[in-house]
Structure 1
Amino acid sequence: MKPTLLVLAAGMGSRYGGVKQIDGVGLHDECLLDFATYDAMKSGFGKVVFIIRKDIEQAFRERLFDRVARNFDAEYVFQQHESLLTPQQLKDSEGREKPWGTTHAVLCAEKAINAPFAVINSDDYYGRQAFDVLGKYLSSIDNDCTDHAMVGYILGNTMSRSGSVSRGVCTVADEKLVNIVENLKIYYDEKDQIISEMPDGEKKFFTGKEWVSMNLFGFSPKAFEEFHVYWENFIANNSKAPKAEALLPVAASDIIAHNKGIIKFFNSTETWFGMTYPEDRQLVKDEIAKKIKDGYYPEKLWEK
């Protein structure tokens, strides 16, 4: 059974200042997601499902989806504020503008998933090596398997010079994930040291060699059971919180903590680049152009 690629593309892009999911960066105005989908297709994935907001549907279709769908099995689903909420929770959260987070997004796509699946962000470049490794593993498991997977990256390879980033720092033992600790503000200081600024004001220093999560996970559909448990607990405690988010790395860690399965840890040494800040766009364009020049990608990505 060929695995599915699930793309988290419903974010607001508040730091970027626009709909970065569909911003052109290729030689023929392809989006970063064009390249991720192409890599997944070349790595044995059989389908892609995009999770988007309803308000960007038309632009999403024009700028990305219709082109991808002509070359690959593709569909999209909506992450909406009211999805999975009770009438009381909907009332409690009235006026909230921020999406409910990545676990909520994944749950919104549950009905579109009928095979083991990988999850990626829409604004990160992962590299084909990661898709090859994860695609091969997901092709080997069935829908009830409790051995899930992730691909981790070296922290120093995932930093931005344009501002702070959020990274889940991983503890790994025996090639399995032990836990992930979310660090919501990691940046370079004036001495070029990597620092995480904690909510209480404390600063934590990193070497840059730590393994971090870039939301590149691989799950069997069995994982949805634990995701529902996590979501129900989250929304019960946060329906009135205007900015709280149900984060996928936390839900994934709960699989381990609740003894509902393991997460095999694979790794990639490729250098990340992505679309976090407006200044990142030119860097991404340059990196893509370099890969095309080196023959990593064809100049024209899709045949039609």
Structure 2
Amino acid sequence: MEITLVVMAAGMGSRYGGLKQIDGYGPNGETLLEYSVYDAIRAGFDRVVFVIRPDIEDDFNACLPSALTSSIDTHTVFQTYTLGLPKGLTIPVGREKPWGTGQAVLAARDVIPGPFAVINADDFYGEHAFQSMATFLRGLPSAGESVASALVGYRLKHTLSDYGSVSRGLCEVSAYRELLSIEEAPTIKRSKGGIVAVNAEGSSRPLDGDAWVSMNFWGFAPSFWPVLERAFDTFLKTKAQDIKAEF
């Protein structure tokens, strides 16, 4: 059974101020994306699908070493704000960016034959994360309608930056390590009193450094596709006229 890694690299980079997904960080200018693909290859993934915007295609392709892409089957798909929209849907004036993470994943559906994982291009996950996810995906039933899914969780204290705030998903986890809910916290940082989350109004609340957080490393069975499609359809019916809405 083949397993696929979907890399979301279509982000606008508005907060970072550039194309963070193709900036070099390693000793020889390696990108975070290169580390992820390398770790995925070592973990036994069979295919990598890059989801990008058409306008960054040339720069994106230039940052991928041929030695890396020749070691695994790769595909590139485009995410645009018109992708998957029903005929007749009116797009609000001023809408230019795509519709978010869910739509980015849907852009890759036609080139994913089986179980798959999803990551961001501009985060570092670590080798063990890819090994754990590959084990989960290969353990899914080869037939049937399993809706099993998984999230690689991290302790909050291990995901902070010394150079500013980070955005994380705060996870509510059961005693059996079942994911119950996720709360998006776009501004988390260290303070004199510990780790805090700051809201849009500027007020803060303390967070436990041992709390589980998401860095957007998900794994899904193929039966997830119709679930995602129905959710996107519902989103468009209720949120399409919101110029800032994301799915």
Give the TM-score normalised by structure 1.
0.75
1:37 maps to 37
What is the identity, as a one-letter code, of the residue corresponding to 1:108?
A: A
Is the CA contact (8 Å cut-off) linking 1:98 and 1:242 kept in structure 2? no
- Residue 126 of structure 1 is matched in structure 2 by 125
SS in 2 for 1:64: coil
Distance 1:93 1:178 in 2: 34
User: Could you tell me how far 1:200 is from its partner in structure 2?
Assistant: 6.0
Residue 87 of structure 1: CA displacement?
4.0
Query: Number of residue pairs matched?
Result: 244
Greater Cα shift, 196-205 or 46-55: 196-205
Other structure's SS at 1:92 match: coil
Unaligned runs of 5+ residues in structure 2 are none
Q: Deviations over 1:206-245 (max 9, x none)?
A: 0211100111111011111211122122222221222221
Q: Take 1:119 and 1:108, find their aligned partners in 2: how far apart are those partners?
A: 12
AA of the residue aligned to 1:164: S
Q: Structure 1 stretch 233-242 or stretch 36-45: which is displaced more?
A: 233-242
SS of the aligned residue for 1:125 comes to coil
Question: Displacement, 1:201?
Answer: 5.6
Provide the alpha-carbon RMSD of the alignment. Answer: 1.8
Moved >4 Å (runs of 4+): 199-202
Unaligned runs of 5+ in 1: 247-304
Structure 1 stretch displaced more, 103-112 or 202-211: 202-211
After superposition, what is the alpha-carbon deviation per residue over 1:26-74, rounded to whole angstroms, capped at 9, x for unaligned? 3333211111101011001111001000001111111116453222111
Counterpart code for 2:62: E
The worse-fitting range, judged by mean Cα deviation, of 135-144 and 165-174 is 135-144
Please give the alpha-carbon distance, in whole angstroms, between the structure 2 residues aligned to 1:148 and 1:206.
Answer: 26
Checking the alignment, whether the CA contact within 8 Å between 2:172 and 2:212 is kept in structure 1 is: yes
Match of 1:249 in 2: none
Alignment correspondent of 1:181: 183
Identity %: 43
SS of corresponding position for 2:135: helix
For residues 85-96 of structure 1, the aligned pairs below 5 Å read 85-89=85-89, 91-96=90-95
Normalising by structure 2, report the TM-score.
0.92
- The CA deviation string for residues 77-120 of structure 1, in whole angstroms up to 9 with x for no partner, is 0011100113443x333321333111110011111111111111
